[in-house]
Chain A
Amino acid sequence: MQRIAKILLWILLATPLAVLTYDYLHEATFLFGEVYYGGYVHDTGRWAAWLLLAALVATPLRLTFPRSDLVGWYIAQRRALGVASFAYASAHLIAYLARQDWARIAEDFAQAGFWTGWIAFAIFAAQALTSNDFSMRLLRRGWKNLHRLVHGAAILVFAHWALTAFDPFLACCHIVALALLEFWRLFLTWRPRPA
C-alpha cells in the first residue's frame, strides 16, 4: 500500500512537468494551453519554488506536531518533494540555456538576479545527487551539513525570483512566507525545553 502511495506521489509530482514540457516542445495545448518559452521558464521556476517550500515546511511541522502520524507520513515524502523541486529547476535552467546564446548567458551571469540562481542550483544539484541511502552512509556527518545548506539555497532561489521578475510582488510574498517558515523552525529548534 505504501509502495503504491509512493508511486502515485511520484506520478502526481511528475505530471505537470511532463505535460508542460510536451506542450512547450510540440507547440501543443494539452492541459496548459499554449506554452511558449517565457511561460515554460516561469511555470517550471514557480513549481520548483513551491515544491521547495513544501519540502522546507516538513521540519517545522515535525517540531510542532511530533506525535502526528500524518506529519510522520509527510516527513517521509520530503525527499520526493526535494528531488521533484530539483527536476523542475533543471527544466527551468535547461530551457534558458537552450534558448540563449553564450554571450547573453555570460552577460546575465554578472547580474545578482542570475548568479543567485546559479549558486542555488549548484547546491540543489549536490543535494539531489546525494539524496540516496548510499550517499548518506558514505558522507555521514558531511551529508547532514550539505543538506543543511538548503536553507541558504532557498534564500538564493527567492532572491533570484524577486530580482529577475518583471513585477517582484509575488516573489516578495514568497520571501515573507519563507522568512516566517524559517523563523518558526529556528524558534522551535532553539526554544528552551523543560529538563
Chain B
Amino acid sequence: MPMKIFALVALLFAAIPASAQNTLVNANTASEAQIAAVPGLAPLAAAIVAKRPYASPLALDAVLAEGKIAPDQRKLIYTRLWAPMNLNAATLPDIMLIPGMSARMADEFREYKPYKSIGQFRYEIGKYVSKAEVSRLEQYVFVPPR
C-alpha cells in the first residue's frame, strides 16, 4: 500500500512541468487569472492589476495590506506572487519582504551594491548559501542592464 501511494505521488509530480513547480508569478506582468489562482488572492486580483506597475515589492505589499491581508499571509503569498525588485535600488524593507530573509542576508544583499550583473549576485550570495537557495532568491530580484 505505501508503495502505491508513493507511486501515485511521484506520478502527480511528474505530471507537473518542472518549470511550473516553483514558478513565482510576476505581479507586473501576470494576467488577472494567474493572480487570482494564487491562494487567497482571488478577491484582490483586479485591484492588483489596476495598480500596476509596481516599482518595488513594498508598493505591492501596500496594496495587499489595503486588501486586509495579514502580514503572515502576505509572506506566504510572496512565495507565489512577487514584484521583482531592482537590486541596485532595493531598500532594506523591500529586501526583508522576501520569504525566509534574515537581517544578516539582507545586509549581504546591500553590501555588494551596485551589482553589475545577475552573475555577480550569484557569485556574492553563492558564497553563503547553496545553489538552490541562490536560485530561489534570484527569482525575487533583477539587475538592470548596464
Contact = CB atoms under 8 A, between A and B. Distances in A.
Interface of A: 34, 36-39, 42, 166-167
Nearest to B102: A166
Nearest to B123: A36
B127 A38 contact: yes
Nearest to B115: A36
Interface of B: 104-105, 108, 111-112, 116, 119-120, 123-124, 127-128
25 contacts: A34-B119, A34-B123, A36-B112, A36-B116, A36-B120, A36-B123, A36-B124, A37-B112, A37-B124, A38-B108, A38-B111, A38-B112, A38-B123, A38-B124, A38-B127, A39-B123, A39-B124, A39-B127, A42-B127, A166-B104, A166-B105, A166-B108, A166-B127, A166-B128, A167-B128
Nearest to B108: A166
Q: State the majority secondary structure of interface residues on B.
A: helix
Contacts of A37: 112, 124
Contacts of A167: 128
B116 to A, nearest CB: 8
Residue of B104, B111, B112, B127 contacting most chain A CB atoms (<10 Å)? B111
B89 to A, nearest CB: 16
A4 B46 CA distance: 77
B12 to A, nearest CB: 37
Contacts of B105: 166
Nearest to B117: A36
Contacts of A42: 127
B84 to A, nearest CB: 21
Nearest to A41: B111
Residue of B104, B119, B127 contacting most chain A CB atoms (<10 Å)? B127
Contacts of B116: 36
A93 to B, nearest CB: 15
Nearest to A166: B128
Contacts of A34: 119, 123
Nearest to B124: A38
Contacts of A39: 123-124, 127
A36 B123 CA distance: 8
B127 to A, nearest CB: 6
A39 B108 CA distance: 12
A41 to B, nearest CB: 9
A45 to B, nearest CB: 12
B124 to A, nearest CB: 4
B1 to A, nearest CB: 43
A95 to B, nearest CB: 12
A91 to B, nearest CB: 17
Contacts of B119: 34
